[in-house]
Structure formats: structure tokens, C-alpha cells
Amino acid sequence: MKTELESMGLWPGSVPVRNPLKMVSLWRGPPQPELIDSVDDFPCAKYFQLHPFFIWKPENDNLMGRLRNNYTLPCIDGCAQPQIASAGVGRPRVIVGITGQYYLLSSRLCCKVCRKRWYADNPSWLEKLPKRFTNLLPAVLTYKKAICKSVLDELRRTGKSPTDMAKQITEMMHLKYERADLAYLLSCKNIMDGEEGKYDQKTITQFLRQETKPAPFGEYGDSDGWNGISVSAHYLTDCLLCVC
Ligand SMILES: [Zn+2]
């Protein structure tokens, strides 16, 4: 996330980017790990463990100025003439969607008048925003929970019980993890096949690298790896109660 934000000039202290609006989506997808150049070495498992993220920085005019128009962002405390500015990097919050998990990266805001600070995903601040802002968010945020709109839609569409829904999402998320694991193993195998001479000419990279075999991919829930989260029926029920 840091690298991506730096390239867009959104990370504090990064070089300003001339036209970040060339990017007209707030979504950032991970790179295709198979295409990252690493023929001398086994691929890094980390590249296979990245999830998409959604950038939520309503105060950033390069990014969201068109949506803001001439509207003045409100202060969370209700100051009459608020001055809202960015106050740091912000924080990511993990969201469960129908096709997997992603992160919602919200900026940290401050009001220069009353000096209050809060995160841009704070529900009581979101309530004060015009609908065109919150409509853009992929998730519904409440005081305790966050739920992807895709999950809400699916719950309504299918009439599934929270238990069945939790099961479906859990299956999907584990499937996604297994595919990523497989993609990583196939990429490693590609290197080894080359070294064994399967592609006619033997590559010599095995003499250059330190490791003789690839590092393990890690488990579903490893916090420094895939970082897969679990979804319970209880959680979904809570979300529904908060939203409806
Ligand atoms: Zn204020």
C-alpha cells in the first residue's frame, strides 16, 4: 500500500505527482505476481498475498475534488466554519466482500478550527456528508462493524440465512487463498524447471541464489502473510442489525 500511495503522491513526504487523476479509480489492485521480474530467484510469496484496497481520502482534491465541488467538508464536532485537512497517513480496515477481502484505507483528518482529529471512515462524520460521497464507498460502516455492500446485496437477493452466507463467504475466501498458494508454487516450479533443463537450455540461476527450495507460503490466517480473516454468522447478523 505504501509503495502504491507513494507512486500517486499520496504518502506524506512523497514527491508530488503531476497528474494523479490519470487514475480515475479509487480501487487499487495488486500487481500480477507472475509477471514480476525475478528469474534469478524464487518469487517472493509476499507478492502473491496482496489484497486490493480502496482509497478513501475525501479531503484530497487531486483525488476527489470533482466530487467535492465547492462543498466544504464538515467538522466532526460541527464547527460553523470548519477547515478540514489531512492529518497523517490514515489507517487500513479490512472488509469482507463476496469475492474476497480488501482494505479500506481512510485518511486521518483534522479540523484546523477546533483541532479535533478523526478518521475519514468514522460513521458519525460520514453521516454528515452528502449522499454522493457515501454512495461511492464499497462498504457500509457502522460504529462497530463494516460490511461490504456486495455482501448485503447478496443477503437480500438470495434470502440466505447469516449462517449459510458466512459459510459461502468462508468457502470463497479459502478458495482464493488456495489459488494464490498454487500460483506461488507454480511460479517456483517454473524457476526449478528452467534450472533442470526442461526448457532446452539449462539456466544457471540455481548457483546464484541462496535458497535451494522455495520459502513456505504460510497459512490462511498468518498475519504477516495472507492474513485471511474469518467471517461468522454472528458477525453478519450484527452487521444486518446495524444497517437495517
Ligand atoms: Zn472543528
Average confidence score pLDDT of the chain: 87
Distance 77 CA to ligand 1 centre (A): 5
User: Do residues 119 and 78 touch, judged by C-beta distance below 8 A?
Assistant: no
pLDDT of residue 20: 52
C-alpha of residue 50 to centroid of ligand 1, in Å: 37
User: Would you tell me how many other CB atoms lie within 10 Å of the CB of residue 160?
Assistant: 15
Pairwise CA distance, residues 77 & 79, whole Å: 6
- Mean pLDDT within 175-187: 95
Secondary structure (DSSP) of 3-62: HHHHHTT-STTPPPPS-GGG---SEEPPP-GGGS--TTSPPPGGGGG---EEEE-TT-HH
Span from the CA of 23 to the centroid of ligand 1 (angstroms): 31
Answer for the pair 103, 95: CB distance below 8 angstroms, yes or no: yes
No. of H helices and E strands in the chain? 8, 9
Q: Which of 119, 125, 128, 151 is nearest to 138 (CA)?
A: 151
Q: What is the pLDDT of residue 182?
A: 96
Residue 62 Cα to ligand 1 middle (Å)? 23
pLDDT of residue 3: 76
Task: Pick the range with the lowest mean pLDDT from 48-57, 149-158, 167-176, 210-219.
Answer: 210-219
pLDDT at 54 over 80: yes
Enter the pTM of the model.
0.85
- Report phi then psi at 217, rounded to 5: -75, -30
CA of 75 to the centre of ligand 1 (A): 5
How far is the centre of ligand 1, averaged over its atoms, from the C-alpha of 196 (Å)? 66
Q: Give domain limits for the chain.
A: 2-243
Q: Answer yes or no: is pLDDT of 229 > 80.
A: yes
Strands 146-148 and 139-141: antiparallel
User: What pLDDT is stored for residue 226 in this prediction?
Assistant: 95
In 3D space, the residue among 6, 116, 125 whose CA is nearest the CA of residue 73 turns out to be 125
**Distance (Å) from CA 79 to ligand 1 centroid:** 4
The whole-number average pLDDT for the span 119-126 is: 95
Of the CA atoms within 13 Å of residue 223, those in its CB half-sphere come to 0
Distance 65 CA to ligand 1 centre (A): 21
- Ligand 1 center–CA 193 separation, angstroms: 62
